[in-house]
Amino acid sequence: MSFLDFLSALLLVPALFFFVAGTVALLRFPDLYSRLHALTKADNVGLGFAVLALMLRAENGVEVFKLALIWGLVLAASSTVCFLIGQEAVRRGLKPWTRQSP
């Protein structure tokens, strides 16, 4: 195993951690806003680590560029969609969860 492969495998560990954390949060968090927060933050960081890991295994510069493009697109799309869903929820009067509420 070359040094790059080792580094790539090492980067996949935090990627996996953030994806698992995001998924657990999606299943366990109490309301839409906190779930959205978890999904768009944790998963994008996880994807970032995965993309970095794959970049180290890429065969040429074009592949590195494509991977970076994919990450950028997912980042932009997920934050926009998160905003749209959140705004629609506010418009419908969905109250954010607080510790006091039942």
Partner 1 sequence: MIPQLLDGTLVLVVVVLAWRALNDRDLFRGVIEFIALGLLLAMAWLRLRAPDLALAEAAVGSGLTGALILSALVRMRRREQAAAGQTAGGATGPRGEARGKNHSRMVLGALSLAMLGILAWAALSLPAKSPGLTAEALARLPDSGVTNPVTAVLLNFRAYDTLLEIGVLLLAIVGVWALRRGDWPAADLRERLLLLSLLRWVLPLLAVGAGYLLWIGASAPGGAFQGGALLAGALLLALLSGLGKRLLWRERLIRTGLTLGVLVFGVAGAVALGWTGGLLQYPTGQAGAWILVIEAAALVSIGLTLGLLYLGGRPEEK
Please, which of residues 41-80 interact with partner 1 by CB under 8 A? 73, 76-77, 80
Residue 4 or 87: the one with the smaller Cβ distance to partner 1 is: 87
The answer to whether 32 touches 83, Cβ cutoff 8 Å, is no
Choosing from 16, 68, 70, 84, the residue that interacts with partner 1 (CB under 8 A) is 84
Q: According to the binding rule CB under 8 A, does residue 13 interact with partner 1?
A: no
Helix (H) or strand (E) segment spanning residue 26: helix 3-28
| Distance in Å, CB of 79 to partner 1, minimum | 8
Place of tokens 């295994």: 57
